[in-house]
């Protein structure tokens, strides 16, 4: 039986995620948005692309949640995007209300679903979805680390003029300016990054990764969508196909990495049950310090939420 995935928010990120999932051809996709006719139009366009790209036209657009009933996974991309000069933290009040409303409707129609949160501020919105859904922690997970890691890997690939396929990287922590690219766990074809370039160049790549979202907002006038949409789809793949991939995701920590009661980016095994395990990396003292600082920054944002 084909899986069923609902993507809430038919904007750039949601539509990209929907198309990536449709191209895998294992799931029926429902695209939900409050704008009249908009998700229907996006679905029609995406279905017609199937004739070119070779996937079945199984995307449904809707302004309600009835068509989403009994979804295996619900991807939440709804919310206001960042604009130039706006930090992720500035979004918290507005997007808390949006994510709260979306979560209530999504879980009412799909009480057995796993929630993949993409809306910003990501870490805080995971807390909102968990509180409103009342799901166990393994069934609410955020998309951040895959995106941040992809950016770090892309920058390394460009800097060294090597295939990005040979770059193994990981980024931990909050999805913001204090994220933690883990240099000690980063290599190219098995060769540690620190053996391939001086620390000064590595620091520049780390800083560019941390501010990667802001760089794109400055160029585009809004948040990125191709990489975030593809990253969310990769998480859905691992859950729906029970791939049990170890991916950097925003998961709820209860003591792991010395962090208690907080959503943070960590390597997590994703399978049919959602987050099935948290993988612990051996960090350097400096990386541990940076992760603590990142956790403190996330707590500051979470502290202003109405629902925690």
Divide the 308 residues of the chain into consecutive groups of 10 and give the mean pLDDT of each group: 96 97 97 98 98 95 98 95 64 90 98 97 95 97 96 98 97 93 97 97 97 91 93 98 98 97 97 98 96 95 82
Give Cα separations from 229 to 119, 155, 275 (angstroms): 11, 19, 19
Where does a domain end: 113, 142, 171?
Answer: 142
Q: Are strands 191-192 and 260-271 parallel, antiparallel or unpaired?
A: unpaired
What pLDDT, on a 0 to 100 scale, did the predictor assign at position 148?
Answer: 96
What pLDDT, on a 0 to 100 scale, did the predictor assign at position 308?
Answer: 65
> Do 203 and 277 have their domain in common?
yes
Number of domains into which the chain is organized = 2
Give the CATH number for residue 168.
Answer: 3.90.110.10
Where does a domain end: 76, 108, 142?
Answer: 142
Q: How far apart are CA 306 and CA 119, in angstroms?
A: 17
What pLDDT, on a 0 to 100 scale, did the predictor assign at position 83?
Answer: 64
> Do 149 and 235 have their domain in common?
yes
The one catalytic residue in 4, 88, 151, 175 is 175
What pLDDT, on a 0 to 100 scale, did the predictor assign at position 229?
Answer: 98
> Do 161 and 277 have their domain in common?
yes
> Do 51 and 118 have their domain in common?
yes
> Do 50 and 163 have their domain in common?
no
Give the CATH number for residue 31.
Answer: 3.40.50.720
Q: Is residue 127 flagged as an active site residue?
A: no
Asked whether residue 308 is assigned to any structural domain, the reply reads no
> Do 57 and 180 have their domain in common?
no
Q: How far apart are CA 109 and CA 71, in angstroms?
A: 8
> Do 128 and 168 have their domain in common?
no
> Do 134 and 159 have their domain in common?
no
What pLDDT, on a 0 to 100 scale, did the predictor assign at position 34?
Answer: 96
Where does a domain end: 142, 175, 201?
Answer: 142
> Do 100 and 176 have their domain in common?
no
Asked whether residue 118 is assigned to any structural domain, the reply reads yes
Its domain, for residue 210, covers 145-302
Asked whether residue 307 is assigned to any structural domain, the reply reads no
- Cβ contact 115:139 at 8 Å: yes
pTM: 0.95
> Do 83 and 206 have their domain in common?
no
> Do 292 and 157 have their domain in common?
yes
- Cβ contact 88:176 at 8 Å: yes
> Do 138 and 192 have their domain in common?
no
Q: How far apart are CA 151 and CA 169, in angstroms?
A: 10
What pLDDT, on a 0 to 100 scale, did the predictor assign at position 43?
Answer: 98
Asked whether residue 100 is assigned to any structural domain, the reply reads yes
């Amino acid at each position: 039986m084909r899986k069923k995935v609902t993507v809430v928010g038919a904007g750039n990120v949601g539509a990209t995620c929907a198309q990536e999932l449709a191209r895998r051809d294992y799931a029926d996709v429902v695209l939900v948005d409050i704008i009249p006719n908009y998700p229907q139009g996006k679905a029609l366009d995406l279905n017609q692309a199937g004739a070119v790209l070779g996937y079945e036209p199984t995307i449904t657009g809707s302004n309600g949640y009835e068509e989403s009933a009994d979804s295996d996974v619900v991807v939440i991309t709804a919310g206001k995007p960042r604009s130039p000069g706006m930090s992720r933290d500035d979004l918290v009040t507005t997007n808390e209300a949006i994510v709260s409303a979306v979560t209530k409707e999504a879980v009412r129609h799909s009480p057995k679903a796993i929630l993949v949160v993409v809306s910003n501020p990501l870490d805080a919105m995971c807390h909102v979805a968990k509180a409103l859904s009342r799901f166990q922690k393994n069934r609410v997970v955020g998309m951040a680390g895959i995106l941040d890691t992809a950016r770090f890997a892309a920058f390394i690939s460009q800097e060294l003029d090597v295939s990005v396929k040979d770059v193994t990287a990981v980024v931990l922590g909050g999805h913001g300016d204090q994220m933690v690219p883990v240099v000690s766990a980063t290599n190219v074809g098995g060769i540690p990054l620190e053996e391939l370039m001086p620390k000064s160049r590595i620091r520049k790549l780390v800083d560019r990764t941390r501010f990667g979202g802001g760089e794109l907002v400055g160029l585009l006038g809004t948040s990125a969508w191709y990489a975030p949409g593809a990253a969310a789809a990769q998480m859905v793949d691992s859950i729906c196909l029970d791939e049990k991939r170890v991916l950097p995701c925003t998961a709820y920590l209860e003591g792991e990495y010395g962090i208690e009661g907080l959503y943070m980016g960590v390597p997590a095994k994703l399978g049919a049950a959602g987050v099935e395990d948290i993988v612990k990396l051996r960090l350097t003292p400096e990386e541990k310090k940076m992760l603590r600082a990142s956790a403190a920054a996330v707590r500051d944002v979470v502290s202003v939420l109405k629902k925690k």
